[in-house]
Structure 1
Amino acid sequence: MHNSSLDLEQYILNHIDNEDPILSQLDRDTHANVLYSRMCSGHLQGSILTFLSKLVSPQNILELGTFTGYSAISLAKGLKEGGKLHTVEINDELEEFAFSYFEKAGLSETIIQHIGNAEEIVPALDETFDLVFMDADKRRYVEHYEMVIDKVSQGGVILADNTLWDGKVVEPIANNDLQTKGILAFNDHVKNDPRVETTILPLRDGITMLRKR
Structure 2
Amino acid sequence: MKKHRDTPFVQITDQDVEQYALEMTSAESEQIKELVALSDQELEFIDMLSGNLVGQMLKMLIKLSGAKRVLEIGTFTGYSALMMAEALPGEGQVITIEMNLRYQELAEKHFERFDAEDKIRLLKGNARELMDELEGEFDLVFLDADKISYPLYFEKSIAKLKSGGMLIVDNVLWNGTVLHPDDEKAAALNQFNKMVADDLRVEQVLLPVRDGLSLIRKK
Tell me the TM-score normalised to structure 2 length.
0.89
Corresponding position: 1:12 with 2:18? no
Corresponding position: 1:116 with 2:122? no
Q: How much has 1:113 moved relative to structure 2? A: 0.3
Decide whether the 8 Å contact of 1:30 with 1:40 is kept in 2. no
Further displaced range: 75-84 or 186-195: 75-84
Corresponding position: 1:181 with 2:200? no
Corresponding position: 1:200 with 2:209? no
Further displaced range: 46-55 or 192-201: 46-55
Decide whether the 8 Å contact of 2:67 with 2:139 is kept in 1. yes
Q: Tell me what 1:59 maps to.
A: 68
Decide whether the 8 Å contact of 1:57 with 1:78 is kept in 2. no
Whichever residue aligns with residue 201 of structure 2, its letter is: R
Q: Tell me what 2:114 maps to.
A: 105
Decide whether the 8 Å contact of 1:50 with 1:77 is kept in 2. yes
Provide, for residues 183-210 of structure 1, a one-character-per-residue CA deviation record: whole Å limited to 9, x for no partner: 0111011111111001111111101110
Decide whether the 8 Å contact of 2:166 with 2:217 is kept in 1. yes
Two-structure CA RMSD over aligned residues (Å): 1.7
Q: Equivalent residue of 1:37, what SS?
A: coil
Q: Equivalent residue of 2:185, what SS?
A: helix
Query: Relative contact order (C-alpha < 8 Å, sep 6+): which is higher?
Result: 2
Q: Equivalent residue of 1:205, what SS?
A: coil
Decide whether the 8 Å contact of 2:206 with 2:212 is kept in 1. yes
Q: How much has 1:107 moved relative to structure 2? A: 4.5
Further displaced range: 135-144 or 91-100: 91-100
Further displaced range: 141-150 or 35-44: 35-44
Corresponding position: 1:128 with 2:137? yes
Q: Equivalent residue of 2:87, what SS?
A: coil
Q: How much has 1:54 moved relative to structure 2? A: 1.2
Tell me the TM-score normalised to structure 1 length.
0.91
Q: Tell me what 1:28 maps to.
A: 37
Provide, for residues 90-121 of structure 1, a one-character-per-residue CA deviation record: whole Å limited to 9, x for no partner: 10212232123223333462111011110110
1:161 alignment partner, one of 167, 170, 179: 170
Further displaced range: 10-19 or 139-148: 10-19
C-alpha separation in 2, matches of 1:147 and 1:154 = 14
Q: Tell me what 2:146 maps to.
A: 137
C-alpha separation in 2, matches of 1:68 and 1:7 = 28
Q: How much has 1:9 moved relative to structure 2? A: 2.1
Decide whether the 8 Å contact of 2:82 with 2:115 is kept in 1. no
Aligned residues: 208
Relative distance call for 1:60 and 1:107 in structure 2 (3 A) is farther
Decide whether the 8 Å contact of 1:156 with 1:212 is kept in 2. yes
Q: Tell me what 2:8 maps to.
A: none
Further displaced range: 7-16 or 144-153: 7-16
